[in-house]
């Protein structure tokens, strides 16, 4: 079983839709959970991070962590064509001071 599982999609939604992206993981030592956005031919950029369980909101983005289910989610409200990218979840046990374990990424297209 892979440490981090993420549905690769692709996911195609109309502009304005609510998008839900998810990852599951198997390592109960993971404490830090991150979402990266990667545009085509660019490096991943950190979108949000959450420590332990709970929710975190930043504008149109909400990250949720459920450690009991080993399940994390990223919600995008009022999705825009500029949100079209690949979204990668990442996690580790030390807050990024050691290697992050990444999901394979979900490719999202938001259609105008």
Is there a contact between 21 and 110 (Cβ–Cβ < 8 Å)? no
Q: Which of 63, 100, 108, 110 binds another protein (CB under 8 A)?
A: 100
Nearer to another protein, 45 or 66 (CB): 45
* Distance from chain centroid for Cα 42: 17
What is the helix, strand, coil percentage profile of the chain, to 5? 5, 55, 45
Quick check: 87 binds another protein (CB under 8 A)? no
Check residue 99 for interaction with another protein (CB under 8 A): yes
Q: Which residues in this chain contact another protein in the complex, by CB under 8 A?
A: 32, 34, 36, 41-46, 49, 51, 88, 90, 94-105
């Amino acid at each position: 079983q892979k440490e981090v599982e993420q549905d690769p999609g692709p996911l195609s939604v109309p502009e304005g839709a609510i998008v839900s992206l998810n990852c599951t993981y198997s390592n109960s030592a993971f404490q830090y959970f991150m979402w990266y956005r990667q545009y085509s031919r660019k490096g991943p950029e950190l979108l949000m991070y959450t420590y332990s369980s709970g929710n975190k909101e930043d504008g149109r983005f909400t990250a949720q962590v459920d450690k009991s289910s080993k399940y994390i989610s990223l919600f995008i409200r009022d999705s825009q064509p500029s949100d079209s990218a690949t979204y990668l979840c990442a996690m580790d046990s030390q807050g990024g001071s050691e290697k992050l374990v990444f999901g394979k990424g979900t490719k999202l297209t938001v259609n105008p």
